[in-house]
Amino acid sequence: MARAYLSADERREQILDCAQNLFFSKGFEATTVQDLMAAAGVSKGGFYHHFGAKEDVLEALSQRLARTSVALIESVRDTPGLCGFERLEKTMRALGQFKKENAKGLVAAFSAVLLPENAVLYDRINRANMSAILPLFAEIIEEGRQDGSFNVPDARLAAQALLSLGGMSREAVGAAVKARGRADRAAANAELERALAWQGVVVDRILGLPDGSITLVEAGFVDAILPVDD
């Protein structure tokens, strides 16, 4: 049977569809370029026409997932009757819920970028994600600055500071992921949860809020995304 014709954009998206399924189920490191080619039904030349390496596929997949985050943030942004504080809090909750619902696949796909040897890839992915959502966070914080929810001199700089906080917990995230299946897993999860709770305090202080105003993650969030008993 002849293979259905797809445009270049459609073929690229097909490869990404297959990559997401494989990365989420097998993990990034266990998936080969040959696996991607076979799943998408493309030749070696067809694959390399769209992507220079497997790492480029992961970066493109991250950009696709960032668009999902953008849609979640836009949904909150466009909800009428909220002040800036409420809009930011609901945004944080929506993004946290997305991570919980897709935790197993996200960990499988992206845990490799936490390794020291993949620092450049981590930076590429982090920069792409930040560029996608920074304008929306800046818009929400500016609304809060205008309505008195937040005490910040510059909404965009505040948004940049907030979105840069993830780097603070990178080491703790990596340690918790690496500890899966080990006796110290619960301790590693607890350390990550402490790091995330402290980030919530930093968010409050950046925005000029009393400590405890913004709940960055709910209690038990880390155990939900990295279960200690699986």
- Give the tens place of pLDDT for each residue, 122-169: 888 888 889 999 999 999 999 999 999 999 999 999 999 999 888 778
CATH of the domain at 89: 1.10.357.10
In the numeric block, which tokens belong to residue 193?
């949860």
Q: What CA–CA distance (Å, rounded) separates 104 from 160?
A: 28
Establish if 222 belongs to a structural domain.
Answer: no
Is a pLDDT exceeding 50 seen at residue 2?
Answer: no
Establish if 196 belongs to a structural domain.
Answer: yes
Can you tell me whether residue 230 is helix, strand or coil?
coil
Average pLDDT rounded to a whole number, residues 59-70: 93
Question: Mean of the per-residue pLDDT values for the chain?
Answer: 90
Establish if 153 belongs to a structural domain.
Answer: yes
Domain with 150, as residue range(s), is 10-208
Report the number of distinct structural domains present in the chain: 1
DSSP secondary structure string for all residues of 29-52: TT--HHHHHHHHT--HHHHHHH-S
Establish if 58 belongs to a structural domain.
Answer: yes
Establish if 158 belongs to a structural domain.
Answer: yes
Can you tell me whether residue 72 is helix, strand or coil?
helix
Q: Residues with Cβ < 8 Å from 146, sequence gap 6 or more?
A: 84
Which residues in the chain belong to E strands, given as ranges?
none
Read off the pLDDT band of 84 (50, 70, 90): very high
Establish if 221 belongs to a structural domain.
Answer: no
Average pLDDT rounded to a whole number, residues 204-215: 93
Establish if 225 belongs to a structural domain.
Answer: no
Establish if 214 belongs to a structural domain.
Answer: no
Is a pLDDT exceeding 50 seen at residue 197?
Answer: yes
